[in-house]
Structure 1
Amino acid sequence: MRLNREVTAMIDLDMLSRGSGFSLHEGTPRLALVHHGFRANQIGFADARQDRFTDRYASLGLLNLARSAQADYESKRIPHRPEFRYFDEDHYADDAHLAEGITEWLRPAEARFVLVSLYSLAFERTAKMLAMLDPTEVCIVIGGAHPTMAPRADFAHVVVRGEGGAALRHILTELLEPSFGQGPEARGICFTRGGESHMSPPAFDRSLATIPAPAFRYDLTRSPDNSVERVRVRWWKSLGSRPQIYICTQSCRSRCSFCSTYIIHGNLVSRPVSLVSADLDYVIDELGHDSIEFHDDDLLQHDELDDLLDCLGARGVPWSCNARAEFMDSEIAGKLYRAGCRKVFLGIESLNQRTLDYYRKGTTVEMNQNAVRALDTVGIGVVCGFIIGAPHDTVDSIVSDIDRVLELPIVFLSSAILTPDIGTAEFSRAKKRIPLLNSLGDEGTRMNIRPRPDLFGTETPYGLPTVCEAVSKKQLNELYALANCSFFLKASSVARIARLTPADRMEEAEAWCSVQLERARELAESAELDVVRARAAELLAARI
């Protein structure tokens, strides 16, 4: 059944009530966990040649929800044991086949749910895919960073803002009842019923600190023959042949202007080390993974950091993490290395103090430089986050910042253009100067904002404007490409990459550098900015 859903309102829950194919109280509920959106990624939009180098891994948010519901059944907080299946778009030829697979698996159940973590870049794609499902028979629930910031979606019955454990419990016990949407467990749940919209602020909880081990249902992502699925991490993060992603903290103690993590997750929550240890028993001993990639915003913020490092050191497996420069020194770097850490992503962002202050980084140029050198000295490879395009930036200031960053002893330069992501302080700042941003939502509402490539183009940032006043979006993309080419065509960078990249990923690393060489040739020939053409030509000449 295909319905016209072009109106702004969410799918009315009365559609499920009036339909004959959905019942929450009959038998075992089935929940399809849908990982959708990695085929729409910014690196691919910026340069399709780079798309093959992107990550492929499961959604920890969805795997945590599955574990949370399982624990709720075991503690008798929900009446039926839910059945879960994980649907990854990579396993299907296209979205039509994905929707067909979801529908086929859900059909035998009376209570059918689709849970999707929605990415901003995939907004339109996900909407079209979910429109292939019958809204009278399947309850569509979306969550994630984008819905938390802009919860009104006309292709879902329920939107969950913030953490979803308590919300899912409420859905599985109260959906379609008069009590649905009421009480503390309903916080974060948005829906329409009988034509009336119900909006709720984001929900924050501390479930990561209490949920029994394992915290994530990694088993749901295993292949049909029950072998361990290979997680594809980027070559510059790779440390083993069977890596796995993991988090043990929630939210971030910092308040950078371009980030919405703290808005989505509230205050910091740390998973006790005793539970982390049990999680690692499961991931390493039972599932056979040989390296861990921590996706915490800042692993150093864990409440029991020393005990956590002791726990990781005892495991003897290599791992990587994200950290903040202001908390890094030679002592911390040494502790990380001895505990098995081999790569760290540092959000340096800039070596211009005015820019750091604008980003609200809470760091100084000296802190950034010292943090990188401390990690490099002990043998930890540094992936350096670098952002260009602040409102005050000029072509000269960006080129100068690139030159300063190129002096750092890093293994990878992760460049980006400042994006006014929905819900961030940067977005609020940009709206005051760019009236067209009000067109991202119907009639200027902030509740259903989404990227608009028809207005702002597909160059980075996809479907959003840049905020730099003196440099155009096209020129920023040229400078972004120049930063990458300048780093990856540099002899010292190539040497460090060769030293810190696993042998089985070196071919991929060399292919990445070859893409940057091709891009340098293109810049030398056709870049709009004179300095970019000249710099690219110098890079090419140096290789002769």
Structure 2
Amino acid sequence: MWDLTPIHAAGADRDTRDVRIAFVHLSFRKVARSRAVRSKALFSAHFPALGLLNLAQQLRDHFVDRDLHDWVRYFDEEAFEDRDAMEAAIRAWLRPAALGIIGMSTYTSSIDHVSDYCRRFAGDNILVVLGGAHVTVVPDDDLPCHIIVRGEGRDALVTIIERLGAPDFLAHARLAGICCQLGDTRVDGRAATDNSIETTSVPCFAYDLLSDLDTGVYATSYTRLLGVNPQIYVCTQSCRARCSFCSTYLIHRRMQARPVERIRQDLTQLRDRGYDSIEFHDDDLLQHPEFDALIDILREIRLPWFCYARSEILDDQVAERMAEAGCQRVFLGLEAMTQRSLDYLNKATTVAQNHTVATALDRHGIGAVSGLIVGLPHHTVPDVLAELDAFLALPLFAISCNVLTPDPRTREFMRARRRGGDLQLSLGGETGLTVIPDIQRWGLDQPVGLPSVCESIDKGTLNDLVAVIEYAFYTRPHITDALYSSAHTPEQREVITAYLDFVRARITERAPGVTHDLVRTRITGLMAHQ
């Protein structure tokens, strides 16, 4: 981290009202595009960073005598021609203020791009603050910034605005989850959680900050075409589950839920703003303690919606009520269809339950989009092909196939770290507890810039299998027809066509380099039926 001393000293006589904040969101799609990862660059969804919009709304609640638009602005990379243009706009916005703050969220998959962007402001009189999932779990990285915020951020931002430059700043910083270097003094604040999801005013997220952006900035996945102007929303934090590959509960700790009456007001405002569909990005919407009341609200709002859910509590009765309330898509974290793999991933469910929930959703007209994870340490090629056949037998609308990635401090990460091997070459940070993507060493195949943790399938073959899985699933006529039927505009149909063309082109491109006999045989059989 950069020494905070110059900015801290300059703040001694600063008027606390003379502050401007630039919340900056780097696009995962553009990160993928810069890495030439075509599947992510062309077909991934892009939405605003809800964490930043929630922080903005909390600032509105705390500083009630100030108009938020006078001192807080939201910058989205997709709204600019390039990063240079966004940098110029950020500088122009911050220049009049005595204290200009850049706030950015961090994710492991894009931490290298965030770092590169922060370096643009090195040596400037601009305070660079990084928060979010990555630094909350791994705060000791040598990142190019002045302050790292661990946890949910509200107390840290208020402390920075009100106390930076004051003699007691460091004492307050420790309690607010702030990590910084002030001269010879290093502060390592513990992750600070709050009840912001429960107490933030309506709406929970400052969607009005998006009004400066063009309407074409945001788009959803080709599997979630519920309307033409969707918006995302979250009403719970953390997750009661403990899947081995997920760090959500490490970031947010205890599960929290927004009161249903505030949810009603939030969603009503979204509808009144012209959004025609809602995507709940909660880890599991069904974990809301007032789920029955939430369903009643959604029935009243009368907008189509999507959510994430787990299979162990979603049965036919729940699926029926969700469908009646406007649910049209659910992302199911099935991940596997063998009990050994489900147990390894700590999914706390069974193969039979996975069958039950997929069948229930299909029966009630809800399209199930399922996760599928390959590349577990024990996986063999026959194992993965058997998983494919099991998923093809399920009544699913779509799948999302990924190679297992050990995110920092997750159970999967700790397992891989103990095993040693290639993963050790990608560990860094002051304690060796972060994963640093290295495209040169590990290439663009999944996991991008990292080695896989599979013991008997090489990374190239794992990605051959991903290509086989998606080709086998998406080229079936009933799946293709269902995708096209979900489109509302010619542009959405074009996206679906482009994705299907990509799936066919990718397997054609990979086929000549396939080295495993079973994979080659499966490709030959698939292409013979087209």
Using the size of structure 2 for normalisation, the TM-score is 0.94
Q: Aligned partners of 2:13 and 2:69: how far apart in 1?
A: 15
The answer for the alignment partner of 1:115 in structure 2 is 103
Q: 1:395 aligns with which of 381, 392, 404?
A: 381
Once the two structures are superposed, residues 75-122 of structure 1 have per-residue CA deviations (whole angstroms, 9 ceiling, x without a partner) of: x7x999971111111122322222222111100011110000122232
Q: Report the more deviating stretch, 189-198 or 368-377.
A: 189-198
Does the residue aligned with 2:2 lie in a helix, a strand or coil? Answer: coil
The answer for the alignment partner of 1:61 in structure 2 is 51
Map 1:197-276 → 2, pairs under 5 A? 197-223=186-212, 231-276=218-263
Does the residue aligned with 1:414 lie in a helix, a strand or coil? Answer: strand
- Asked whether the 8 Å contact 1:37–1:126 carries over to 2, the reply is no
Cα distance, 1:44–1:394 mapped onto 2, change above 3 Å? farther
Q: Aligned partners of 1:50 and 1:253: how far apart in 2?
A: 29
Q: Is residue 2 of structure 2 the alignment partner of residue 11 of structure 1?
A: yes
Map 1:217-366 → 2, pairs under 5 A? 217-223=206-212, 231-285=218-272, 287-366=273-352
Q: What displacement does 1:327 show?
A: 1.0
Cα distance, 1:474–1:448 mapped onto 2, change above 3 Å? closer
| Matched AA of 2:500 | C
Q: Is residue 130 of structure 2 the alignment partner of residue 139 of structure 1?
A: no
Does the residue aligned with 2:227 lie in a helix, a strand or coil? Answer: coil
Q: Aligned partners of 2:431 and 2:123: how far apart in 1?
A: 25
Q: Is residue 168 of structure 2 the alignment partner of residue 182 of structure 1?
A: no
The answer for the alignment partner of 1:542 in structure 2 is 529
Cα distance, 1:467–1:193 mapped onto 2, change above 3 Å? same
Once the two structures are superposed, residues 53-89 of structure 1 have per-residue CA deviations (whole angstroms, 9 ceiling, x without a partner) of: 1111110000000000110012x7x999971111111
Q: Is residue 97 of structure 2 the alignment partner of residue 128 of structure 1?
A: no
| Matched AA of 1:270 | A
- Asked whether the 8 Å contact 1:163–1:205 carries over to 2, the reply is yes
Q: Aligned partners of 1:16 and 1:447: how far apart in 2?
A: 30
Q: What displacement does 1:218 show?
A: 0.8
Q: What displacement does 1:434 show?
A: 2.0
Q: Aligned partners of 1:183 and 1:289: how far apart in 2?
A: 40
- Asked whether the 8 Å contact 1:40–1:122 carries over to 2, the reply is no
Q: Is residue 448 of structure 2 the alignment partner of residue 462 of structure 1?
A: yes
| Matched AA of 2:42 | R
Cα distance, 1:128–1:503 mapped onto 2, change above 3 Å? closer
Q: Aligned partners of 1:314 and 1:463: how far apart in 2?
A: 46
Does the residue aligned with 2:461 lie in a helix, a strand or coil? Answer: helix
| Matched AA of 1:265 | H
Q: Report the more deviating stretch, 489-498 or 262-271.
A: 489-498
| Matched AA of 1:524 | A
Which runs of 5 or more structure 1 residues have no equivalent in the other structure? 1-9
Q: Is residue 357 of structure 2 the alignment partner of residue 368 of structure 1?
A: no
Does the residue aligned with 1:326 lie in a helix, a strand or coil? Answer: coil
Q: What displacement does 1:344 show?
A: 0.2
Q: Aligned partners of 2:525 and 2:275: how far apart in 1?
A: 44
Q: Aligned partners of 1:197 and 1:40: how far apart in 2?
A: 35
Q: Aligned partners of 2:457 and 2:421: how far apart in 1?
A: 18
Which runs of 5 or more structure 2 residues have no equivalent in the other structure? none
Q: What displacement does 1:446 show?
A: 3.5
Q: Report the more deviating stretch, 61-70 or 504-513.
A: 504-513
Q: What displacement does 1:145 show?
A: 0.9
- Asked whether the 8 Å contact 1:24–1:172 carries over to 2, the reply is no
Once the two structures are superposed, residues 220-267 of structure 1 have per-residue CA deviations (whole angstroms, 9 ceiling, x without a partner) of: 11236xx75663001211201111000001110100000000000111
Cα distance, 1:443–1:335 mapped onto 2, change above 3 Å? closer
Once the two structures are superposed, residues 167-210 of structure 1 have per-residue CA deviations (whole angstroms, 9 ceiling, x without a partner) of: 21111111232222324883321111113221122222111101
The answer for the alignment partner of 2:464 in structure 1 is 478
| Matched AA of 2:336 | S
Cα distance, 1:356–1:23 mapped onto 2, change above 3 Å? farther
Q: Aligned partners of 1:171 and 1:199: how far apart in 2?
A: 15
| Matched AA of 2:323 | Y
Q: What displacement does 1:277 show?
A: 0.9
| Matched AA of 2:263 | V
Q: Aligned partners of 2:20 and 2:244: how far apart in 1?
A: 40
Cα distance, 1:146–1:187 mapped onto 2, change above 3 Å? same
Once the two structures are superposed, residues 342-401 of structure 1 have per-residue CA deviations (whole angstroms, 9 ceiling, x without a partner) of: 000001100011000000000100101110110010000010100001111101111111
Does the residue aligned with 1:451 lie in a helix, a strand or coil? Answer: coil
Cα distance, 1:41–1:101 mapped onto 2, change above 3 Å? closer
Q: 1:434 aligns with which of 409, 413, 420?
A: 420
Cα distance, 1:11–1:384 mapped onto 2, change above 3 Å? same
Once the two structures are superposed, residues 382-424 of structure 1 have per-residue CA deviations (whole angstroms, 9 ceiling, x without a partner) of: 1010000111110111111111111111111100000011121
Once the two structures are superposed, residues 266-311 of structure 1 have per-residue CA deviations (whole angstroms, 9 ceiling, x without a partner) of: 11111001101111122111x1111101100000000110110100
Number of aligned residue pairs: give it: 528
Map 1:413-428 → 2, pairs under 5 A? 413-428=399-414
Once the two structures are superposed, residues 150-176 of structure 1 have per-residue CA deviations (whole angstroms, 9 ceiling, x without a partner) of: 223431111111211122111111123
Q: Is residue 519 of structure 2 the alignment partner of residue 528 of structure 1?
A: no
Q: Aligned partners of 1:314 and 1:293: how far apart in 2?
A: 16
**RMSD of aligned residue pairs (Cα, Å):** 2.3
| Matched AA of 1:520 | I
Q: Aligned partners of 1:244 and 1:452: how far apart in 2?
A: 33
Q: Is residue 16 of structure 2 the alignment partner of residue 29 of structure 1?
A: no
Q: Aligned partners of 1:480 and 1:289: how far apart in 2?
A: 34
- Asked whether the 8 Å contact 2:16–2:162 carries over to 1, the reply is no
- Asked whether the 8 Å contact 1:486–1:539 carries over to 2, the reply is yes
Cα distance, 1:110–1:80 mapped onto 2, change above 3 Å? farther
Cα distance, 1:47–1:100 mapped onto 2, change above 3 Å? closer
- Asked whether the 8 Å contact 2:174–2:189 carries over to 1, the reply is no
Q: What displacement does 1:516 show?
A: 1.0
The answer for the alignment partner of 2:160 in structure 1 is 171
Q: Aligned partners of 1:80 and 1:182: how far apart in 2?
A: 28
Does the residue aligned with 2:180 lie in a helix, a strand or coil? Answer: strand
The answer for the alignment partner of 1:192 in structure 2 is 181
The answer for the alignment partner of 2:90 in structure 1 is 102
| Matched AA of 2:116 | K
Identical pairs, percent: 37
Does the residue aligned with 1:374 lie in a helix, a strand or coil? Answer: helix
Does the residue aligned with 1:327 lie in a helix, a strand or coil? Answer: coil
Q: What displacement does 1:449 show?
A: 4.7
- Asked whether the 8 Å contact 2:174–2:187 carries over to 1, the reply is no
Once the two structures are superposed, residues 5-62 of structure 1 have per-residue CA deviations (whole angstroms, 9 ceiling, x without a partner) of: xxxxx1111021356x996425431000100142455698584255221111110000
| Matched AA of 2:413 | F
Q: Is residue 501 of structure 2 the alignment partner of residue 511 of structure 1?
A: no
- Asked whether the 8 Å contact 1:438–1:444 carries over to 2, the reply is no
Q: What displacement does 1:491 show?
A: 2.2
